[in-house]
Structure formats: C-alpha cells, structure tokens
Structure 1
Amino acid sequence: MIRIERAAVLGAGTMGAQLAAHLANARIPVLLLDVAPQELTPEEEARGLNLLSPEVRNRIAQRGLENALKAKPAAFFTPDLAALVTVGNFEDDLPKIKDCDLIIEAVVENLEIKRALYERVERFRRPGSVVATNTSGIPIRALADGFSEDFRAHFLGTHFFNPPRYLHLVELIRTEWTKPEVSCAIHGFLDQRLGKGVVVAKDRPNFIANRIGTYGALITIRTMLEDGYSIEEVDALTGPAVGRPKTGTFRLFDLVGIDVLVYVADNLYRAVPDDEEREIFQVPSFLREMVARKLLGNKTGAGFYRKQKGDGERDEIWALDLASLEYRPSQKAHFPSLEMAKNIEDARERIRTLVWGKDRAAQFLWKTLSRTLRYAANRIPEIADTVVEVDRAMRWGFNWELGVFETWDAIGVERSVARMREEGLSTPPNVERMLEAGARSFYKTDKGEDFYFDFAALDYKPVPKQPGVIILKSLKEQDKVIKKNAGASLIDLGDGVACVEFHSKMNSIGSDTVQMIRYALDEVERNFVGLVIGNQGQNFSVGANLMLLLLEAQEGNWEEIDLMVRAFQQTNMRLRYSPKPVVVAPHQMTLGGGCEVTLHADRVRAAAETYIGLVEVGVGLIPAGGGTKEMLVRALDAIPKGMEDADPFPFVKRAFETIALAKVSTSAEEARQMNFLRPSDTISMNPDRLIADAKREVLALAQAGYVPPQPRADILALGQSALATLKVGIHMMRRGGYISDHDAVIAEKLARILTGGDLNHATRVSEQYLLDLEREAFLSLCGERKTLERIAHTLKTGKSLRN
C-alpha cells in the first residue's frame, strides 16, 4: 500500500518551489533540492564564504523557497507552513530521498538533463517510492526507458499547472510499465490530499490542455494579424465574455512568459510531424523578436503590456504595437455586442449570442473558435479517449467556465457544422459520425444524470462520477428539492441530511435566503438528522443584498431595516443553537453576511481556498448579523487556559482590528488564525468534495450524540476604560491620515459594541445584549449620507469608496 507521508521536489525554479509549497499546504514535509552553485556571488565573497559553505551550496534551493514565500498570489496558505520545507542540493542531500515516498522532478525541460538526474535518483531512492515528472511535454516513456524495473513500475507523469496552488488541473500520464496500483494511489493522493482535478492523459506531445490551448492561442494570434485586431480588442473578446479569465489572451501570455509560449510551440512543431495543423505551431516572427529583446512578460516587466509612468502619480498600462514593437497608451476596445452581452449571466447563452452576431466581434470569435473546435475533435482518440477528459483539462487547467465541447454545444453543433460546410471547412470525422448517429450534442442530461457522446461506441455513455463527490445540480434534476424560492433551495442530500443552497445573484443574502434557512431549520428539526449550508456557485456568498438595503435607507424605512436585521440575527442564532447539527461549507469569497452565517455554524467544513471576512466597514456599516458579537466571543474564548487572569484587552483589540480593517483571509488556514474558523473546524483541499465532506461532518456529529450548545450570558464586556483606549487609537489614526472622518465614526460605533456600550466597568453580558448594540449601530449608520454614498459606489463599481 502506497502512503505519501514525506516528499521531495527536485528543482527549485518557480514551478518546483511552488510545488513544494503546495505539498507543505497539505501538511506534507518536503525536501526541496537544486544544484550546488559553481561560483560565489560578490556578496558571498565579501562575507568570506566559500563553495563548501552550506549557505552557498543550498543557495539556489533557498532562493526558490524565498521566492515562493514572496509569490503573489501567495504560494503558501500561511507563511509558517514554509517550516515544512527543507532545502538542500543534489550533491550533498540527494541520499535523503531514501526517506521520501514521493519524488517529483521539476528541473529544466531537457530529456538528457532529466535522465541524468534519474540515474542519480535511482541510486538513492527506496524501492517502492514513486518518482513523478512534472514535464509539460517530453514523452514519459522516453524519460523512463532503460531504468530498472522497479523504477519504471513506480514512474509516471504528474503535469501540474502553474501556479499549482490555484490551478485545479493535474494531468496524470502513465506508461505501459507503470503499475496500476501506483497510478491509482497517486490519482487519489492528487485528488484528496492536494485537492486537484485529475485527468488521465495519453503520452502524446504536450498531453491535453497545452496541446489544445497552444493551438487555440496561435490561431488567435494568426487571426489578429490577418484581420487587423488590436491586442486590447483580442483580450476583450477572449476574457469573461466567453467564460474565460480576466487575463484574456495576451495578459495570460505575459503571466506565463512569452519565451515559454515560443518554447512550447517549437516543441510541438517538432513533435507532431503528422498533425494536419502542424504549420499553426510555427510561431510568428514578432514573437521571436520579443524573446530576443527580453520582452518576456511580467518576469521582465514588459511583454504585450508594460507599466508606464503617467503624467500624474499613477502608472499607466501601455500596450505593444506589433508593427514597431514599441509601446503606446492602451486603448479600450469598443464592441457594442460585447457591451450588450455583459448583461447575459449564463455563459452558454452569452457565447452563443456573441458568436452568431454580425459584427467584428462575432467574426473574430467564429473564426478562432470554429478552428479550435475542429482541431480538438480531431485529437480524439489521439490525446484522450473522450470529450470529457478534454473538457475537464481545459476547464481545470485554464479556468474556463466551459470546455471545448461544452462550448460547441452552446454554439449549436448542427448549425455550426452547416456553416463550416458553407465556408468550405472540413468537418471532423468524429463529429460527422456523431450527427449520422442521430446525436445533436456532445452532452445531454436525462433524469438528473449527465451523458456524453462516445465517439468509439457511437452512443451516449454516463459521464463518469467522481467517488465522494455530490453535485447539487444533479440532485435538483432528480427531484430532490424539498422547497425553493428565488434566493435559495432546500435539497435532500440523502442519509437524513438536507442542504440549503444559495442561488441568488452572487449568492447575496436577502429575505428569500433568510426565509429558506428558517424553513430548513424547522424541517430538519422534524425530519432530518442535520443540515448543510453550502452551494456550488462561484462564491459562497458576497454578503447582504446591498441594493435592497440602499433602497430602504433612501426611503427612510427604518422599521423595515430594523426588521431585516432582527430576522437575520435571529436566524443566525437559531443556526447556532439548533437541536440538530448544522455544518456550513464556505468556499471562495465568503464575505459580510456570508461570513456571519459561517460564524454561527456548529461546525465549518471550509474549502482550502476560502476568502472570508467581515467587510461591512467598506460600505460604511458594521457587521450586524451577529458577526461583531461572535468575533468578541471568539476573541475572549481564545485566552489560553491557565491565563484567565491575563489582560483581556489585547484579545478584544485584535477582534476590533479584524473588523475595522475589513481583514479577509487568503486561505482557510489563515481564516483559522484570524478566528473566522475554530480549531474544531475542518478543511477540504478539493472544492469538488466540499458538499460531500460537509455531509459526512453532519453525520459524524449526529452519530456522536450531538448536544447543542447553550446560549451565552457570560461574555465579558470591558466597559468605558477599554472604549476610551480604543477611541484614542482611532483618533491617532485619523490625525495620521490613515482613516477618514467617516471611518472614525464607524470605528467608534464598532468599539462601543465590543466594549459593551455604556458600561462604567467590566460586566458579564448576554449575546442578545450585544446583538441589540449591533442593530442600534447598524441602523444609525444607515442614516449617514456618507454610508449611502459608499453603498451606492460599491454597487456601481464593485469597489470601496473612502469618503
């Protein structure tokens, strides 16, 4: 049985160091090795060091670790996890790999260099340990050929995408020598321990995602050159408009590196002599000239874009003129159809509308997408057996909303094939046979089960289910919805567990959501063993419905606002003291009211990538759904046992700063350090497993004989002396220009709640006492003109206003 308890990463470049960081995120001790330097730096010489000094010999790996610690976005969940990484060098420390269960090679993309390293690895590795290469394109068979039987049996490709913490995809590539139990164990490790979406790829050049992605990128560039589109226009057309990241095409190239794009394309050109579209991989001459001039993207400060000093204080973004390779001020793209499409929320409908338009935007999208669709269809079964692997690879590897064949379904297969024929384009034989078989789409859903069209069988087959994964959409299609309204649904997860799913715009919390939670608590008390609150939207919840609040405040409907706040407070308190266990499953943005729901759960099962915080001060308010109260309770409860006589003020101050500065965690691990999660709360590395993991938490609590907590009446309110101290700090911040006058108003109201209001001395108070203070402060701030300005500005721009 293969268990991964210790790992080694060979190669401390950007990818290797960040791989080590992510292994540390999974609490796996990792050895990070690279070559020993052959010469001293001037600084080392000045310090009297020599080539035998450990500091010198480990310099490259140490620098890789330091770069990972400085990486943005962060490579580590929290900086202290770097303590799990031990640095070293190949010459001195390679024997240490005998203690490692998994050895990941991430050195330069060169067959000879990799094989030479494996010869040394083979001398020191323990029989049965797994060796994986992170190559992005070298054939796995060529890397393993000629090594011992045990080495080959335990060797495979694990192609992570950079940055490995954030991109979901890992392509798993086996050879004929790889033992099935080895690939199975590593598949499970990548999925459950590292939180990855694993796609089994064939040992073909650049595997799945980079093969299709590089082709699509070069088709995009060629179309831009042929038809006279600008860099900015292409980025506008290849970003969120078609369900892809904000980087678009050229900002992504700057992020990845133009030299990397050229290397991958050249590698493909050499490796696929029989590819019908091989000539597309001949990169345009301007890309080689960019590499020669070191215009490589973000790593050199200039690529397709660069920052330029403007006339004022702010930097300006300038774009590259491809004719002269000089920079000019960036120009906003103007496509009326694109502006209209922004109002279409559903990605499928949006793409369909754009592609079938009549303007330059539609012409560009049709030309690039139609060729990419045809190319992808012709790569089956060369690079993958089914459309499912291809679509998962593209979604997970590049953060696309829709895969290639899902996009084709959205556009319309029959209609698009008819247009291809009209334009004299050949239709992929796979697609011709599919249409002849009477199928009209690559995917279909029947009775809640998803099916894909199998080109080999010429029939639909069920999309393989991932064990341990619950898909709420599928349950809803199987009539598992108990009750629903515009904002939320109550779904039966099976085994006596129900789930409240938010599905309002951005999963904001309004009266519909609150009503559904209350209904769910009643229903669960009667008929279920427990409740999950979670969803599979882009974010758990961005907070309260601000538009509704703004309208009520502008109308002066203070009683209505008071009722809304009371209802939310009471609902969260019911969550906290429900007689049946309640587990909340946050993921991604969990802000404001979404955070307050999370704070009141019996247990939280959070996705590793959970960005949670009480951000109400950004819109001129304070948390009033019990969030302020709960952060005070947690701050005081954090006083270590045996230190009950310690000064509680620093703990209260910490809660004050967390709320007043609208701090948001950058991971679930950091959320624990910030008191948004408790020590008993747990984390799912793989977001796909979050709902199923939360369900298991509910069942575990129920089976352990769940007993609800009792309402608190013992919360220490420090009174006027602590309030005065906080006010002094607020005053100094205002005088120093760090906060505005209105920030100071909000901060004082927050300080008043956290210290107990008008208490002359320290007093034990109840939760309801603090909730009343919250509601009073919230209502008063709703009457402030500057608060209404902040809310309106946030609704309009999505950004905070400091007024």
Structure 2
Amino acid sequence: MNKPIRKAAVIGSGIMGSGIAAHLANVGIPCLLLDVVPKEPSAEESAKGLTLEHPAVRNRLAAAAIAKLKKTNPAPLYDEAFADRITPGNLEDHLPQIAEVDWIIEVVVENLQVKKELLAKIESFWKPGTVVTSNTSGISINEMSADRGEAFRKSFMGTHFFNPPRYMKLLEIIPGRDTDPTLVNRMKAFCENVLGKGVVIAKDTPNFIANRIGTYGLLVTLQEMVEKGYSVEEVDAVTGPAMGRPKSATFRTLDLVGLDTFVHVADNVYGSVADGAEKAAFDTPAVLKDMVARGWLGEKSGQGFYRKVKGEGGKSEILSLDLASMEYRPQKKPSSGSLEAAKLAKGAREKTKALLTGGDRFSDLTWDILKKVLLYSAGKVGEIADSIEEIDNAMKWGFNWELGPFETWDAIGLVRSVERMEKEGETVPLWVKDWITQGNTSFYRVDNGIRFYVDEGKYKQVDQRPEVISLRSLKEQNRVVKGNGGASLIDLGDGVACLEFHSPNNAIGADILTMISQSVEEVRNNFEGMVVANQGRNFCVGANIMLLLMEAQDEEWDEVDGIIRLFQNTMYKLKRLEKPVVAAPHRMTLGGGVEACMPADQVIASAETYYGLVEVGVGLIPAGGGCKEFALRVSQNVSHPEADLQPFINQVFETIGMAKVSTSGHDAKRLGYLKPTDRVLANQDHLIYEAKQAVLRMAKAGYEPIREEKIRVVGSEGKAVMQLGAIGMRESGYISDHDLKIAKKLAHVLAGGDVPAGTLVTEQYMLDLEREAFLSLCGEPKTQQRMQHMLTKGKALRN
C-alpha cells in the first residue's frame, strides 16, 4: 500500500479519460491509455490496406484521443510535448500491461454493469499494492466492487475528477466500505501535492458532494423560474457574478454541461433516494424533458436555453429561450436596484447581502433559491460528507462558487436568516437550531488568524497544512511589517518576508513601486530574504496604463519619464538586493508583472501561469527592464564571444513583438520567459511555501548577490535583420503601419542601438534605450488610441 505512483493506466479514452491521462502526463507520470478495439477499419485505414489486425487500427481510439489533445482548446496539456508521455493501446492486446503500473483509473461509460465487468477483467491482471479507482460521477463504489476480492476492494475507491481535469480544482475521493483508510490518506496527499488538486472525501452516496448540491440548486432555480415567471436572463443575472458565482450562472452552465447529461445526473439521484420530498426535488421538470425531446441539448446541439444566430451584417447574436412560447427571442438586459447594488458591492459576501436587501423581485428570487440550497446542504451533513468544510470546498472547487453554502449562510446572517426561514414555514435541521441555541451566531469563526468550523456541536480547527500559507491569516495575526494601498510586506516567519500586491487587478502603480523600494530596505536590514507573491485572482495584469495615458494626453512628458525611471530603478534595486528573492506568479502575469519577476533569483510559478510581455498590444514596448533582461539572458546563454547571437535575439523579438503569452508555466519556459532553473508547481496553494523554502535554501548556502554584467548585443547589423523581418510582415499584410513603427523601436532596443555588433553595453544603457523608445511611443496618437481601447474594452486594438 506504500508503493509510490510513478506510472498509471487510464481505461477509456473519451473526453474525461484522455483529459485525465493528459493531466497525469502534465505532472510527469507516464500513462497507458486503453480503449476498445474498433469493430472494423475506417475508410481511410482500408484505403491504406490496413486490416483489423494492424496495431494502428486496433489502437485507433486511444491514438486519436492523444492526437486530439494537441488541438483541443483550452489545452489539456501544459505543453504539447507532454503527449509523448501517453502510450495508446487497446483492451484486448494491452490489458496485461496494467500489472506494470501503480495506479489504474477506470473512465468508461456510466453504466454499473459495464463497470463491474471491466473491474473483473482488471482484477485478473491486478497486482496487490496497485491502486484502482473509478472516475464515476455518481455510481456506487460499493456496488461496483461488490463481486471483487477483499484485497482488491481494499485498494479500490472513487476518484471523481471534474471536467476539464487540468483546470478544475476539485477531486472527490470516495472510499468504499472496505477501502484501506491509510491508502485513502495517501491518495489524498498524492492528488493534492502531485496533481495539484483540492481534494474532498465524499461518502458513497448518489452524485457524491458537488453534483448532489449543485444539481439540487439548478433544479430549485428552474422550479422557481417556472413558478414565478422569471426569464432566462433574469435568473442568470441573479445567479452569476452578482452572487459570487461564475458568469455562466444557471442556464449558460446547463447549456455547457448538456441538458441530456444534466437530466441523467438528476435522474441518478431521483432513482436512488427514498425520501419523498427529495425525490420530488430531483424529478426532472417538464420543460427540461421537452427540450431534450426536441434535441435542444445546449452548446453541443447548437441551442438550449440560449442560441447563437447570425444577425444583421453577419454579426453574431445570442438569443434566449422564452419558456412560455418555447421560442427564441433577443435578450433583454435585466435592471433593478438590487442588481445594481450587487454590481457595486465588493466580494461575494457583500454582493449577496446587497441582492437580498434590495426589496425587489430579484431579492425575492435570490432568497427563494438560497434558502432552499442552504437548508438542503445542512440536511446532507453527515450523509454526503462528514463536515461542512468538505461541502463548502466541494462547491467552491467544483462549481467555482466564491463562497460555499455555509460560508454564504454566515455572510447573510445565520440567526436572522433562520428566523425568517422558520417564519416562512421551512424546516430547519435540528443540528443547526441546536447550534444557535448554544449561543453561536456563525458556522465559522476566526481567532488570531486561525479558522474554526462547527463539527458535531463544537468548533473544530480547520486543518492547517504547513505547505499552504494564507496571507490573509497572517495579516489577521498582525504580521504586516509595513504597507500602503497597493502592497504590503508580510512576515512569513523564519526570517522570510513576502511582498504582496493588492491594488485593483494588482496593477503596478507608484504605491506598489514605493513599497518594493521600502521592502528592499527592510529585508536588507531585518530578514534573510523575500518572496514576491500574492493570492489575488491574478498575480499582476501589468502597469497602471490609465495613469500613463492621462499624463501622455496632457503631454506631461517629464511625468511619464519619471514614472518609467521609477519603475526601472525599483526593479534594478530589487535585483541588487543582497538577500535572495523568489517570485511566485500565478494566472495572469502580464507586462509589468513579468518585469517584477525578472529581477528575482528564482521564479516558482503556478502551472496555470499565463505569462507575457504584452506591451505591444497597447502600442508600447516593455520598459521596466523586460527588454534588457531578455538581451542579458541571450548574452549570458551564448557566452562565447564569437558565437552568433542573432537567432536567439530574433526569437526574443518575435516573442515580445507578437505579445506572446504562455498557456502554462511550462509554456513560459518554452517561450524563454522562465529560466531553466525556475520551477513550475501544479498546486497553486503551495507556491508561497515553496518560494519561502527556496529563499531559506539560498540563504543557508551562503547567498551571493547577482552581479552586474555587461551585455553583448547584436548592434546595428542585428537591428537591420529584425527590422527587415518586420517590414516583410507589413508588406504581406500581417501587421499595420503602426505595428511596424513599434517593431522598429523594439528592434532598436533589443539590438543595443546603433553600436557595432558584439559591443558590450551596460544594463543602464539598455534601460535608457527602453525608456527613450517608450516615451516616443507614448506620444503617438495611435498608441494612445490603443491604450484607451484597452481601458474601455479590455482588449487590444489593431490600428
């Protein structure tokens, strides 16, 4: 039972099976992907003279699934090359090979009999010590393994990945009654630490945790809509971001999932529960049955609750379904006081409270949905999961809710809401009433930064794993060394400080730059080193371009020059700190965010890091040291004085000039944004801990500050090569005249200006070139148009 997992087999190469195999490959685990043998060769295979005996035919399903991984968007793989870690095969020829793996995952059709038959075949080749799991979304683990031997059952459990496996954080582990508890704990740790998942332990009940609560919530919402006459748009206006939920809200989510799939999930509970009221709640509404019968299944059939059509001038328009007439019509944007108040409120807690207190029909809808979901969730504690924390985490990680049901209940006021529920004739679970009777006013509480939740009538401390560091908790413990409106320096303990950005969108402005400078001095005098990290939605979306645009439009060029000098000088100061610095970016890390990481001794990035110098998109070039750092890396990596730098600087020119953004942390390495010594972690929750450990290792080893080096540049000859390439793109119609102007400025900077090829220049010289080019571009009307467009539309303008 203690065998490490180094190799896996996935049986079933459909969307989920291939996606799971891809994620195993992402984290470095070679995987065997098996599926059935096709009944006959395809027309293409027959044309090649291949028969059913040929391996290419027999392995076709798995091989095609692997090939599709490279084309799927969003990408299931961190890097296309990782597909080579997956070996295709088939169940007739290759099933014996499962004896050589450490983890077997069954991902075949959701049919109990099919799964039982497959497990019987697996057991015939299974070796003790090998973990076997099912990716079922709702079939009983105990029923599935009932006919297997005792040793096999001890090694068997459910591992329910959410789709898509790479991106969805939730993984439900469902032990059977005979599963070895030690193995459950080991798999939980493995899935968290290696796969980067948020794991909850679910009980073997219909649809487990997230789908049980989520399906109930969707059905309740649909019932309220039909009974009270709300439109599709009105419901989605309430149940999306206004409540701290995803933009897909209710009906866009149903369209994405597929109405037939949703009905299957609801029917699974309906057919499995005995309680009459619960059975009625999961009875598929007539409107859903009607839509499925019509083939209106959502996105996969082209229409569901929404339908995209071509409008006037060929422009796409999304229509919504009118349930009264069952016809599609143009959408009507809902408006009300409560919706506007929720839009202005910050955070899910305040948004939900704003919705509920608006006193209009949208407030009524919010309450009618919410109270039923909260009561249902409370009634399932102990049945579907042991704790409220497991339920809350399942909904946050599986359905992307900002707050779980019990966190939501605390936000709206536990005591007050229960009083209202009882006045309206609702039955509140006895344990909730007992908890309030004891004088408690919330399910969670925080004492000195430590979080507790109610468990069996008393507060229990939330498990604090050392590798999960919460900056919020540290701030609640008064561990802030210094701070301002844009950033804070937080004491992580053990002599390491963390510089946290917390401006809107973590955009870099004067406040963050000031705090970086102050933090450098503080760490120099009082700490062993520093981590640059935060736990916002995105690490940093770049510099504050609104400030730059305002100054440029007012032609305050000295001010613009001062802003860029401050940025450059601050990054230079950070790089020259005599203590180790580790940056830990995650998700969107763009423009100035990348330049804030470049001075670090090491970058430890989340696998989900979308990293890029994107200044060209707003008509500028990187001027916070991004160009200089890239040129320095090329000079260092091609260290022989006679070696040709041109091919390498051309790649940099293309990367920056095309504003390339990585699709993962691994892709950032491929693009050259990250160095070979930088690391990528699957579990974003571990970033700050790992960055802190890296700082301590460097400090213990006797840290030597980064010394300034001269940069060998390609000079005027190399500039001409890059500019010639850009001119060719303009002549071919790939870029505009303004793009060409930006490209020529970028080439001038990366080449080191008009010096002879091979000249050694200083870092400051390169920074001066960056700043001069940046300033000149700020004065261009078309650059100002691009900046304005990005601020108002949120996307790049190609003018």
Q: TM-score under structure 2 normalisation?
A: 0.97
CA separation in 1, counterparts of 2:736 and 2:334?
Answer: 36
Q: Look up the match of 2:545.
A: 546
CA separation in 2, counterparts of 1:234 and 1:204?
Answer: 29
Question: Is 2:775 the counterpart of 1:779?
Answer: yes
CA separation in 1, counterparts of 2:498 and 2:376?
Answer: 41
Q: Look up the match of 2:101.
A: 100
Which of residues 670, 673, 683 is equivalent to 1:673? 670
Query: In 2 relative to 1, CA 741–332 (structure 1 residues): closer, same or farther, beyond 3 Å?
Result: farther
State which drifts further: 329-338 or 86-95. 329-338
Q: Is the 8 A contact 1:608 1:684 kept in 2?
A: yes
- Report the secondary structure of 2:70's partner residue: helix
CA separation in 2, counterparts of 1:558 and 1:158?
Answer: 59
Deviation digits for residues 762-785 of structure 1 (CA, Å, limit 9, x no counterpart): 412111111000111111122222
Number of aligned residue pairs: 798
Query: In 2 relative to 1, CA 45–497 (structure 1 residues): closer, same or farther, beyond 3 Å?
Result: same
Q: Look up the match of 1:62.
A: 63
Q: Look up the match of 2:223.
A: 222
- Report the secondary structure of 1:722's partner residue: helix
Query: In 2 relative to 1, CA 34–323 (structure 1 residues): closer, same or farther, beyond 3 Å?
Result: farther
Q: Look up the match of 2:404.
A: 403
Within 5 A, what are the aligned runs for 1:441-520? 441-454=442-455, 456=456, 458-520=457-519
Which of residues 712, 721, 732 is equivalent to 1:716? 712
Q: Offset of 1:644 from its aligned partner?
A: 6.8
Q: Look up the match of 1:600.
A: 599
Q: Look up the match of 2:39.
A: 38
State which drifts further: 301-310 or 232-241. 301-310
- Report the secondary structure of 1:583's partner residue: strand
Query: In 2 relative to 1, CA 336–793 (structure 1 residues): closer, same or farther, beyond 3 Å?
Result: farther
Q: Look up the match of 2:92.
A: 91
Q: Look up the match of 1:624.
A: 623
Query: In 2 relative to 1, CA 229–702 (structure 1 residues): closer, same or farther, beyond 3 Å?
Result: same
Structure 1 runs (4+) deviating above 6 angstroms are none
CA separation in 2, counterparts of 1:34 and 1:725?
Answer: 51
- Report the secondary structure of 1:506's partner residue: helix
Q: Offset of 1:645 from its aligned partner?
A: 4.7
Q: Is the 8 A contact 1:635 1:654 kept in 2?
A: no
Deviation digits for residues 37-87 of structure 1 (CA, Å, limit 9, x no counterpart): 112323333332221111111111122223322222110001110000001
State which drifts further: 198-207 or 781-790. 781-790
Deviation digits for residues 708-747 of structure 1 (CA, Å, limit 9, x no counterpart): 221121x222222222222222223233332222222222
State which drifts further: 263-272 or 274-283. 274-283
Deviation digits for residues 266-305 of structure 1 (CA, Å, limit 9, x no counterpart): 0010111126322111112232233333322233333322
- Report the secondary structure of 2:531's partner residue: strand
Question: What is the identity, as a one-letter code, of the residue corresponding to 1:399?
Answer: N
Which of residues 732, 748, 754 is equivalent to 2:750? 754
Q: Look up the match of 1:339.
A: 340
Q: Look up the match of 2:323.
A: 322
Q: Is the 8 A contact 1:2 1:185 kept in 2?
A: no
CA separation in 1, counterparts of 2:509 and 2:289?
Answer: 54
CA separation in 2, counterparts of 1:401 and 1:371?
Answer: 18
- Report the secondary structure of 2:10's partner residue: strand
CA separation in 1, counterparts of 2:85 and 2:634?
Answer: 28
Q: Is the 8 A contact 1:509 1:543 kept in 2?
A: yes
- Report the secondary structure of 2:201's partner residue: strand
Q: Offset of 1:636 from its aligned partner?
A: 4.1
Q: Look up the match of 2:289.
A: 288
Q: Is the 8 A contact 1:636 1:652 kept in 2?
A: no
Q: Look up the match of 2:11.
A: 10
Question: What is the identity, as a one-letter code, of the residue corresponding to 1:574?
Answer: K
Q: Look up the match of 1:80.
A: 81
Query: In 2 relative to 1, CA 608–15 (structure 1 residues): closer, same or farther, beyond 3 Å?
Result: same
Question: Is 2:680 the counterpart of 1:683?
Answer: yes
Q: Is the 8 A contact 2:338 2:357 kept in 1?
A: no
Q: TM-score under structure 1 normalisation?
A: 0.97
Deviation digits for residues 531-574 of structure 1 (CA, Å, limit 9, x no counterpart): 00101111111111122222222332222222221121122122
CA separation in 1, counterparts of 2:631 and 2:398?
Answer: 41
CA separation in 1, counterparts of 2:268 and 2:439?
Answer: 39
Q: Look up the match of 2:313.
A: 312
Question: Is 2:760 the counterpart of 1:764?
Answer: yes
CA separation in 1, counterparts of 2:336 and 2:465?
Answer: 41
Question: What is the identity, as a one-letter code, of the residue corresponding to 1:463?
Answer: V
Within 5 A, what are the aligned runs for 1:637-676? 637-639=636-638, 645-676=642-673
CA separation in 1, counterparts of 2:356 and 2:733?
Answer: 50
Which runs of 5 or more residues in structure 1 are unaligned?
none
Task: Compute the RMSD of aligned alpha carbons.
Answer: 1.7
Q: Is the 8 A contact 2:603 2:679 kept in 1?
A: yes
Q: Offset of 1:631 from its aligned partner?
A: 1.8
Q: Is the 8 A contact 2:662 2:671 kept in 1?
A: yes
Q: Is the 8 A contact 2:454 2:460 kept in 1?
A: yes
Question: What is the identity, as a one-letter code, of the residue corresponding to 2:569?
Answer: Q
Question: What is the identity, as a one-letter code, of the residue corresponding to 2:145?
Answer: A
State which drifts further: 77-86 or 292-301. 292-301
Q: Is the 8 A contact 1:30 1:86 kept in 2?
A: yes
Q: Look up the match of 1:521.
A: 520
Q: Look up the match of 1:126.
A: 127
Q: Look up the match of 2:352.
A: 351
Q: Offset of 1:193 from its aligned partner?
A: 0.4
Question: Is 2:611 the counterpart of 1:612?
Answer: yes
Deviation digits for residues 100-122 of structure 1 (CA, Å, limit 9, x no counterpart): 00001111111111110011111
- Report the secondary structure of 1:342's partner residue: helix
CA separation in 2, counterparts of 1:253 and 1:739?
Answer: 40
Q: Is the 8 A contact 2:320 2:328 kept in 1?
A: yes
CA separation in 2, counterparts of 1:528 and 1:275?
Answer: 63
Question: What is the identity, as a one-letter code, of the residue corresponding to 1:657?
Answer: E
Deviation digits for residues 197-224 of structure 1 (CA, Å, limit 9, x no counterpart): 0111111111110100000011111111
Q: Look up the match of 2:232.
A: 231
CA separation in 2, counterparts of 1:177 and 1:69?
Answer: 39
Q: Offset of 1:241 from its aligned partner?
A: 1.4
- Report the secondary structure of 1:70's partner residue: coil
